[in-house]
Amino acid sequence: MDEHHLSQRLQAVASFVKPGSRIADIGADHAYLAAALILEKRALFAIAGEVAKGPFENAVEEVKGQGLEKKIELRLADGLAAIHDDDHIDTVIIAGMGGALIRRILDEGQAKLGAVKRLILQPNVGAPNLRRWLAAHRFQINHEQMVEEDGHIYEIIVADPVGMPVHYDDRELMFGPLLLEKGGPVFDKKWQDELARDQHTLTQLEQAKQVPVAKKHSFQQRIELIQEVLR
């Protein structure tokens, strides 16, 4: 993979960037995504933020190699601290991390989100709690997509700020309000796999000498909900 040949996952993430955007890619790794967006003229300017020195140095070499130093600024920083007010960032991308870490980054960087018009998030796990954070902070989910690549299924969540309260019920938080509507073979595969794992866990709980009643009940509810959605 490089800036000319993004992975399927990053191609999907890139597709949600509006032409002419000023982006911040948080956890940019080699800065392939930022470079691709600039080269495709989808983004006018990019911040590539990295908290780890090794990936940051890789990104520096990549940007220099492509001659994009005037269009991409590399920042060694934790989360949204990579964004400065005079960057005028309107789109924040956080991809390839756990949902809990993405949520922490958004929580700690709320002051940086005032002028942001779009969040493009790709949690590896923990999407429900991330959707809960978006609703609590008045970000409405306008696009969702599932991508299967190299044996993994990824969820992409695109949310834009709105001036009114946002609410998602437990079913929408778990499955994704728009993914629920769309369904599809990748959606079915993910939740069939989740169902099999949950059923296996429930069987193990039931065979325990001391059955944890609350945990068992929680798994039973989750299994019933998945079965209902897959019907």
Sorting pLDDT into bands at 50, 70 and 90, what band is 135? very high
| pTM listed for this prediction | 0.94
The pLDDT of residue 212? 86
Name which of 37, 33, 12 is nearest 145 in CA terms: 12
Domain map (residue ranges) of the chain: 8-167, 186-230
- Give the DSSP letter of residue 185: H
Residues counted in the chain? 231
Sorting pLDDT into bands at 50, 70 and 90, what band is 1? low
The pLDDT of residue 70? 92
The pLDDT of residue 2? 58
The sign one gets for the Cα dihedral 59, 47, 15, 35 is negative
What is the percentage of the chain residues whose pLDDT exceeds 90?
A: 84
Sorting pLDDT into bands at 50, 70 and 90, what band is 199? very high
In this prediction, residues 69-86 reach a mean pLDDT of 95
In this prediction, residues 132-145 reach a mean pLDDT of 97
Least trusted range by pLDDT, from 54-58, 91-95, 218-222: 54-58
Tell me the CATH number for domain 8-167.
3.40.50.150
In this prediction, residues 24-43 reach a mean pLDDT of 93
The pLDDT of residue 7? 93
The sign one gets for the Cα dihedral 100, 102, 106, 109 is positive
